[in-house]
Amino acid sequence: MEKIGLARAVGNVANVESPAAPGVNAPNSDAFLNLLEKAGKAVAEPQAAASRASDHFANNLEGRLHETMLVMEKAEITMKFAMQVRNKVLAAYQEVMRMGA
């Protein structure tokens, strides 16, 4: 599976036209894209750390059980938080789209 960056996956959001006002470009979209990239890294980092910790523990390379579990719980909490933020953003988007209709 090819690993792609968030910028490539999202595309160039600066050139997306508004459905309400054709010809109007999204303001400050680079800042929003940077925010999304930072958020993605903030979620991916604990997940990678949990994977490394469980691998090291399983292979008896290093680590203690309680430390491994703490890292794994941190990754789980981070993922749950990210999913809740995503759900709130999606609900807000859907509400805005309903208001426009």
Specify the DSSP element, H or E, that contains 21: none
DSSP 76: H
pLDDT tens, residue by residue, 25-66: 656 678 888 888 999 999 999 999 999 999 988 888 766 888
* pLDDT tens digits along 82-99: 999 999 999 999 999 999
